[in-house]
Amino acid sequence: AFMVERAAQSVMGAALCASGVLSVYRSDFLRAVKNEWMEQRFVGEAVHFGDDRRLTALALQRGRVIIALDAVASTQVPTSPVHFIKQQLRWNKSFLRESVLAVKGFGVLSFPGLLSFLELFFWFFYLSTIANILVFNPMVGAWSIVAIWFAYVLAAGLFRNLSLIAREPRLVLLAPIYSLLHVLILTPLRLVALVTILDNRWGTR
């Protein structure tokens, strides 16, 4: 996400999420937005996660956000499948919440608003297309659908990671695995996140 998507957004000065692991902000900016950041509410409920994405949005309201691809940081990562799923669920909730707020707050004529709108649009378009093919309008046999979907998944994983593969060709072997992970786990998780977006429990453990 950061080596490809956020790097592309950074070219426009509109990286949508500066990682909470390592981000640097001007001190005068932090003082100006401290209360607004700490007291954020969504649909009347206090917000307890996605603080890095929210702080990035506040920075974009006042200037530019760029990604330093040569920055190095260490962090803790999920140590079990359950922890990974909980982490991704939390991240997806904040993605959906902040994307909606960005489209509303920036408008689609700005880079942050346009990029957020496109992320949401293509995700819903992808889901509606899959639902139409598999559920509402199966024009071909089930095995043909599976074959077409599998080919699409592999191609998407490959093209999505071309810049990384150019740096490290061996990563091409991981593209199919990434694609299957995205379709079988991350896409359903985003649906769960949409349904439970008002559940503010942290969900790490």
Specify which residues 42 forms β-bridges with.
45
For residue 59, what pLDDT is reported? 94
- Identify whether the C-beta of residue 85 lies closer than 8 Å to the C-beta of residue 189: yes
For residue 94, what pLDDT is reported? 92
- Rounded to whole angstroms, the Cα distance separating 98 from 31 reads 21
pTM of the model: 0.79
- Identify whether the C-beta of residue 14 lies closer than 8 Å to the C-beta of residue 65: yes
Selected residue with higher pLDDT from 85 and 158: 85
Domain residue spans in the chain?
2-195
**pLDDT tens for each residue of 194-205:** 888 888 876 655
- Is 31's pLDDT higher than 90? yes
| Sign of the CA dihedral running 47, 97, 135, 140 | negative
Report the largest interatomic distance among the alpha carbons of the chain, rounded to a whole angstrom: 61
For residue 33, what pLDDT is reported? 94
**pLDDT tens for each residue of 154-186:** 676 666 666 666 777 776 677 677 777 777 888
- Is 99's pLDDT higher than 90? yes
Instruction: List the end-to-end C-alpha distance of the chain, in Å, as a whole number.
Output: 23
**pLDDT tens for each residue of 114-162:** 989 988 888 888 777 777 766 766 655 556 666 766 677 667 666 666 6
